[in-house]
Structure 1
Amino acid sequence: MSVYIILGVIIVFLVILAVFTVAIYNSLIGSRNRVKNAWSQINVQLNRRADLIPNLIETVKGYAKHEKTVFEEVTKARASLMNAKTVQENADANNMLTDTLKSLFAVAENYPELQANENFLELQSQLEETEDKIAYSRQFYNDTVLIYNNKCQMFPSNILARQFSFTESEFFEIEESAKEVPKVEF
């Protein structure tokens, strides 16, 4: 009779272990998928901003035709952002675009009639709104990465994370000079 009790205890233990393992595995999958979703949200906002750039350039070009270098730099930075693949490439391209947008808005400050242009003001408003969304999306992404990375590092989920090749995700970091939102108010 005691053999059956020991066998029963072992079976119950194995069932509990299996349920625990499945729960941790599913938690890791869910966290990894939330990181992917958060990254997608950043990409949506970065693409939205990149889509606004050509219209903004065309509007400013109408008033400041001789500022060709600024337009080329903004276009190049936008292309870099659109071609970025990794988190770090996106962060670097985002920093470059932010810097070039500052130059573009500095040029626009020299043209009062441009600052009064309704199309330009609408583009500014949309860009400012998009910058806010990018900041929120970046924060949400980094919070999600933190939770996922903690699961990959903390016991006991780290055992399964290693076993099933879950790798930590990169944070979306920007350099200090790019932390300021481009000024879009005139």
Structure 2
Amino acid sequence: MMILIIVIALVVIFLLYGVSVYNKLVRLRNLVQEGWSSIDVMLKKRHDLIPNLVETVKGYATHEKETLENVTRARNLALGANSVEAKEAAEKNLNQAMMNLFAVAEQYPDLKANANFQQLQAELTSIENDIEKSRRYYNGTVRENNTAVESFPSNIIANMYKFEKSPFFELQNVAEREVPTVKF
């Protein structure tokens, strides 16, 4: 009789532990999704700002058609990217196109003095900072999630219920990790 009580107590303890680990994994997965949603919102704000920036530059730099088209094309590819990896690659291309756009804008003093352009530049800088904060939050939640998914004994529950590691959102080139400095 005593052995039966001990066995039942151990089973209950293991079940409670399993439920606790499962709930922790669900919470971590939801935090990762929340973090990604935050990045997605910031990227959308950035993507919405780019057409206004392109139009402003277009008025001053009419013969820079290729640069403007590259920015628009990169923006459209970034909007269409669905996975973390695809977004990462698309954002890398968009960052490069934006750097080229700002290099072109540097050649036009009237554009640099334009109040609308200065406002768009300030908004873009603010959004870039928000994107960086969102990336840090997302990557922190990914780290916690991945640690729980891979660590023993929570990895047993994770494997049973098909919890998976999440990809980090990071740039490949160390120089690209810096927020672009835009001076006009």
Partner of 1:170, secondary structure, is coil
Which of 59, 62, 67 is the equivalent residue of 2:59?
Answer: 62
Partner of 2:60, secondary structure, is coil
Partner of 2:152, secondary structure, is coil
State the shift of 1:14 in Å: 1.4
Q: Tell me whether 1:142 sits opposite 2:139 in the alignment.
A: yes
Give the number of the structure whose alpha-carbon radius of gyration is greater: 1
What amino acid does structure 1 have at the position aligned with 2:56? T
Which of 95, 112, 121 is the equivalent residue of 2:109?
Answer: 112
Q: Which moved more, 1:125-134 or 1:6-15?
A: 6-15
Which of 74, 79, 83 is the equivalent residue of 1:82?
Answer: 79
The residue that corresponds to 2:119 in the other structure is: 122
Question: 2:19 and 2:5 mapped to 1: Cα distance?
Answer: 21
State the shift of 1:136 in Å: 1.1
What amino acid does structure 1 have at the position aligned with 2:181? K
Which of 43, 47, 50 is the equivalent residue of 1:50?
Answer: 47
Q: Tell me whether 1:12 sits opposite 2:9 in the alignment.
A: yes
State the shift of 1:178 in Å: 2.5
4+ residue segments displaced more than 4 Å: none
The residue that corresponds to 2:176 in the other structure is: 178
- The TM-score normalised by the length of structure 1 is 0.96
**Which runs of no fewer than 5 residues in structure 2 stay unpaired?**
none
What amino acid does structure 2 have at the position aligned with 1:10? V
Q: Percent identity?
A: 46
Question: 1:140 and 1:53 mapped to 2: Cα distance?
Answer: 24
Q: Are the aligned partners of 1:161 and 1:167 in contact in 2 as well (CA < 8 Å)?
A: yes
Q: Are the aligned partners of 1:98 and 1:181 in contact in 2 as well (CA < 8 Å)?
A: no
**Which runs of no fewer than 5 residues in structure 1 stay unpaired?**
none
Question: 1:20 and 1:38 mapped to 2: Cα distance?
Answer: 27
Question: 2:121 and 2:170 mapped to 1: Cα distance?
Answer: 25
State the shift of 1:175 in Å: 2.0
What amino acid does structure 1 have at the position aligned with 2:178? E
The residue that corresponds to 1:23 in the other structure is: 20
Question: 2:29 and 2:61 mapped to 1: Cα distance?
Answer: 47
